[in-house]
A and B are shown apart, each in its own frame.
Chain A
């Protein structure tokens, strides 16, 4: 391994961590408020698609991110209404959302651009990198922004009244309710923040990092993000650490796939399982103990 390769792997990991961290941070806020959603994979898919459409219309990659956020928000409203206001199950809508995302993007690519399975995002609709070297390694402005968002989310959750209230409705909504906190409002708000962040992450995949929309564009990142959320103990700052590790694995797996001489030594698939194996070990309490909020995933009905 030479220096360029190491720089490449490092920058690649930073690029790969952006969607994972944004989605984990969102999921953390939502679960801290007590709402589970396993539909981030679907949100990533659909916002990658609609984000691209926004970006192409506006000839601006940043508008693409906004489009992604709006897409996420719309899907978040569906999930939030079902889980928070109608007191429905928290897991089932996500399963539906993922299917819609998976089918919708494959359908949409063909219906909108007329190509099968893949659409190249034109450069005028992409976000230009902050920095780039001769070998094609680059750094997206979304990397520092993601660090900033994670920091902001941590500060919001643990230092502000909003965060205190969000955490109170996820830990003990009865106690919060008894003090006059509107449990439903805070839960719904948290769901919206989460899905908007996940929407930005999805658009980032297409209009920034990968520069393409494919029918498998999320590639399990919605689930990796959930793994990272658990791994990080529902803490946005730890999600940065976990996100980098998971991004590194993601990148390493791709790197091994592209370098046949390495593939003989370690199958890339084994690397790809690591985030999930590590998360299982963490939830099993073998190293430390990750404890979800007490009312995570439980609808709150006042007596």
Chain B
């Protein structure tokens, strides 16, 4: 297999985003005709970026793409499609009110723009396609009324209808039930037998082991290696996926945790699409302890945090703070009870970008007596408070009256941390606290979280950055598909074990 010319080759692909983030640092991959190639890696490893470049959605900073040995350049997805490359995204691109047939034939309707669409012919073609693959989707129901698994099949059909030879699937099983996963795999095997080539992006070890022929592991924008699946083991892949040198060292004195501050019991929460995002999670966070939650993003962490902080409805279960039930309470009441929340989405939730640094520095505290009395804002006091935060947290800002969007990402995040800490909380919930933040700010924020723990506060840390959770946590849980795969102590667990749990294999 290795001797023949690859069907597709990506050479030395570099991608630097406009904010300076190096997403890909010279990636080479080869894809051979008729194989299923697994692209394995953690969040932010660069898998999706790489595939978006292949599909014409992103422009590479450097590098070449060879199709059948010839160099190609795709300016848009349409170019990629015209060259026989199709992609099914994690977030579907379907017109929700259209039925499957309309979604699939869009821009492939045939004949002139103003002639009648030949629905019967399209239906016949589609039926044949479905029969060949041995799966069916209802063609006449608006896709918004269909389950996610069926929508995904429609996306696949949409690509096949365009006669693609290479099909890219980005985390296709993330939204599927186990039965749907099995059915999807049957389809993929069928496609392979028909000579199609498939690139399967995933972080799930078992699935990669089951369905792929070869696996290319990507970590931090670099290819770690490629192995033939039959020669691989989950343990090997896990090591390749997460193994790393620790960059930062955080001083953390041993500490005996105190009483339980946050108590979560059998919590069930629904996601935006009505799916069960959190499925029966239970844990405690004690005073003087950092409890970390690791796991690949999208496994229910966001919903879990939103439920605890009063931003999402709890379907079932209990959440207690200092032994007081808090389910159903509004964010304002929770702040009054001594909870602070560093939200995962800095720009959409944590800050109001067009408002000033001062105005952002009191969000969630505006009713406190020091900032407003009898409904009138005391901007002098707000200014004093803001300047104090800027000084104490060493935030670089052009001025307290400048819009917060004029601050760098790291300084924006420090402002949020400063604000939340200034609420003098007993429980700090930090969600992705250092995402997109420069190294110096990251170190500062991490040290600060440890300091809070040393001051006997309870800290709940959620991060997709495994290093962060490993370094900071006293205890940590690994979340996978809405459940905890296990709760462990970071110094008593191997990276391989964590990698396995992140990939959905119980240790």
Direct A–B touching in the complex (beta carbon < 8 Å)? yes
Q: Is B273 an interface residue (CB 8 A)?
A: no
A215 to B226, CA, bound (A): 77
**Contact residues, A148-162 vs B (CB, 8 A):** 156, 159-162
Q: Is A174 an interface residue (CB 8 A)?
A: yes
A165 to B93, CA, bound (A): 14
The secondary structure that dominates the B interface is loop
Q: Which residue of A lies closest to B77 (CB)?
A: A178
The reply to whether A172 and B95 form a contact with Cβ atoms under 8 Å apart is yes
The reply to whether A181 and B106 form a contact with Cβ atoms under 8 Å apart is yes
Q: Give the residue among A159, A161, A162 with the most B Cβ atoms within 10 A.
A: A161
Q: Which residue of A lies closest to B97 (CB)?
A: A171
Q: Is B21 an interface residue (CB 8 A)?
A: no
The secondary structure that dominates the A interface is helix
> Across the interface, which residues of B come within 8 angstroms of A178, CB to CB?
77, 93
Q: Is B98 an interface residue (CB 8 A)?
A: yes
**Contact residues, B43-90 vs A (CB, 8 A):** 57, 76-79, 81-82
> Across the interface, which residues of A come within 8 angstroms of B116, CB to CB?
159-160
Q: How many residues of A are in contact with the other chain, CB < 8 A?
A: 21
The reply to whether A172 and B106 form a contact with Cβ atoms under 8 Å apart is no
The reply to whether A180 and B109 form a contact with Cβ atoms under 8 Å apart is no
Q: Which residue of A lies closest to B89 (CB)?
A: A178
Given contacts A161-B113, A164-B109, A168-B106, are A179 and B77 in contact (CB under 8 A)?
yes
Q: Is B407 an interface residue (CB 8 A)?
A: no
The reply to whether A160 and B98 form a contact with Cβ atoms under 8 Å apart is no
- The minimal Cβ–Cβ distance linking A182 to chain B, given in whole angstroms, is 9
> Across the interface, which residues of B come within 8 angstroms of A161, CB to CB?
107, 109-115, 117
A86 to B387, CA, bound (A): 40
Q: Give the residue among A165, A179, A181 with the most B Cβ atoms within 10 A.
A: A179
The reply to whether B106 and A164 form a contact with Cβ atoms under 8 Å apart is yes
Q: Is B345 an interface residue (CB 8 A)?
A: no
The reply to whether A174 and B93 form a contact with Cβ atoms under 8 Å apart is yes
The reply to whether B95 and A171 form a contact with Cβ atoms under 8 Å apart is yes
A126 to B409, CA, bound (A): 66
A156 to B117, CA, bound (A): 10
A179 to B102, CA, bound (A): 13
The reply to whether A172 and B107 form a contact with Cβ atoms under 8 Å apart is no
Q: Is A281 an interface residue (CB 8 A)?
A: no
- The minimal Cβ–Cβ distance linking A70 to chain B, given in whole angstroms, is 22
Q: How many residues of B are in contact with the other chain, CB < 8 A?
A: 28
- The minimal Cβ–Cβ distance linking B483 to chain A, given in whole angstroms, is 32
Q: Is A59 an interface residue (CB 8 A)?
A: no
Q: Is B96 an interface residue (CB 8 A)?
A: yes
- The minimal Cβ–Cβ distance linking B51 to chain A, given in whole angstroms, is 13
A181 to B97, CA, bound (A): 18
> Across the interface, which residues of B come within 8 angstroms of A180, CB to CB?
76-79, 81-82, 107
- The minimal Cβ–Cβ distance linking A293 to chain B, given in whole angstroms, is 8
Partner of A160, one of B82, B106, B115, B158: B115
**Contact residues, B85-131 vs A (CB, 8 A):** 93-98, 102-103, 105-107, 109-117
Q: Which residue of A lies closest to B58 (CB)?
A: A303
The reply to whether A171 and B96 form a contact with Cβ atoms under 8 Å apart is yes
Given contacts A168-B95, A168-B98, A294-B96, are A176 and B106 in contact (CB under 8 A)?
yes
Q: Is A175 an interface residue (CB 8 A)?
A: yes
> Across the interface, which residues of B come within 8 angstroms of A176, CB to CB?
95, 106-107
A56 to B493, CA, bound (A): 90
> Across the interface, which residues of B come within 8 angstroms of A159, CB to CB?
116-117
A194 to B77, CA, bound (A): 30
> Across the interface, which residues of A come within 8 angstroms of B95, CB to CB?
167-168, 171-172, 175-176
A175 to B111, CA, bound (A): 21
**Contact residues, A30-75 vs B (CB, 8 A):** none
A303 to B82, CA, bound (A): 21
> Across the interface, which residues of B come within 8 angstroms of A174, CB to CB?
93
A191 to B210, CA, bound (A): 52
A294 to B102, CA, bound (A): 17
**Contact residues, A231-279 vs B (CB, 8 A):** none
The reply to whether B113 and A179 form a contact with Cβ atoms under 8 Å apart is no
A181 to B93, CA, bound (A): 13
The reply to whether B106 and A179 form a contact with Cβ atoms under 8 Å apart is yes
> Across the interface, which residues of B come within 8 angstroms of A168, CB to CB?
95, 98, 106
> Across the interface, which residues of B come within 8 angstroms of A172, CB to CB?
93-96
The reply to whether B94 and A175 form a contact with Cβ atoms under 8 Å apart is yes
- The minimal Cβ–Cβ distance linking A188 to chain B, given in whole angstroms, is 15
> Across the interface, which residues of A come within 8 angstroms of B114, CB to CB?
156, 160-162
The reply to whether B113 and A162 form a contact with Cβ atoms under 8 Å apart is yes
> Across the interface, which residues of B come within 8 angstroms of A303, CB to CB?
57
- The minimal Cβ–Cβ distance linking B112 to chain A, given in whole angstroms, is 8
A168 to B117, CA, bound (A): 15
> Across the interface, which residues of A come within 8 angstroms of B115, CB to CB?
160-161
Q: Give the residue among A172, A177, A178 with the most B Cβ atoms within 10 A.
A: A178
Q: Which residue of A lies closest to B105 (CB)?
A: A164
Partner of A179, one of B78, B110, B111, B112: B78
A140 to B175, CA, bound (A): 58
A174 to B76, CA, bound (A): 12
Q: Which residue of B lies closest to A171 (CB)?
A: B95
Q: Which residue of A lies closest to B115 (CB)?
A: A160
A220 to B160, CA, bound (A): 51
- The minimal Cβ–Cβ distance linking A303 to chain B, given in whole angstroms, is 8
A95 to B488, CA, bound (A): 63
A217 to B158, CA, bound (A): 50
A168 to B107, CA, bound (A): 10
> Across the interface, which residues of B come within 8 angstroms of A160, CB to CB?
113-117
> Across the interface, which residues of A come within 8 angstroms of B79, CB to CB?
180
Q: Which residue of B lies closest to A155 (CB)?
A: B116
- The minimal Cβ–Cβ distance linking A193 to chain B, given in whole angstroms, is 12
A159 to B105, CA, bound (A): 13
Partner of A175, one of B93, B110, B112, B117: B93
A167 to B103, CA, bound (A): 11
A162 to B117, CA, bound (A): 10
A174 to B103, CA, bound (A): 13
Q: Which residue of B lies closest to A156 (CB)?
A: B114
A303 to B106, CA, bound (A): 21
A294 to B144, CA, bound (A): 12
The reply to whether A165 and B98 form a contact with Cβ atoms under 8 Å apart is no
- The minimal Cβ–Cβ distance linking B386 to chain A, given in whole angstroms, is 33
Partner of B107, one of A156, A167, A181: A181
> Across the interface, which residues of B come within 8 angstroms of A181, CB to CB?
106-107
A152 to B318, CA, bound (A): 59
A171 to B97, CA, bound (A): 8
The reply to whether B97 and A165 form a contact with Cβ atoms under 8 Å apart is no
Q: Which residue of B lies closest to A160 (CB)?
A: B114
Q: Which residue of A lies closest to B55 (CB)?
A: A178
The reply to whether B107 and A165 form a contact with Cβ atoms under 8 Å apart is yes
Given contacts A161-B117, A162-B113, are A179 and B107 in contact (CB under 8 A)?
yes
Q: Chain B: residues with CB nearer than 8 A to chain A?
A: 57, 76-79, 81-82, 93-98, 102-103, 105-107, 109-117, 158
List 11 A-B pairs, Cβ < 8 Å: A160-B113, A161-B109, A161-B112, A161-B113, A167-B98, A171-B96, A171-B97, A180-B76, A180-B78, A180-B107, A303-B57
Closest 3 CB pairs between A and B? Answer: A180-B78, A161-B109, A175-B93
Give me 18 other A-B pairs in contact (C-beta within 8 A), A159-B117, A177-B77 excluded.
A160-B114, A161-B109, A161-B113, A161-B117, A162-B113, A164-B98, A164-B105, A164-B106, A168-B95, A168-B98, A171-B98, A175-B103, A176-B107, A179-B81, A179-B106, A179-B158, A180-B77, A180-B79
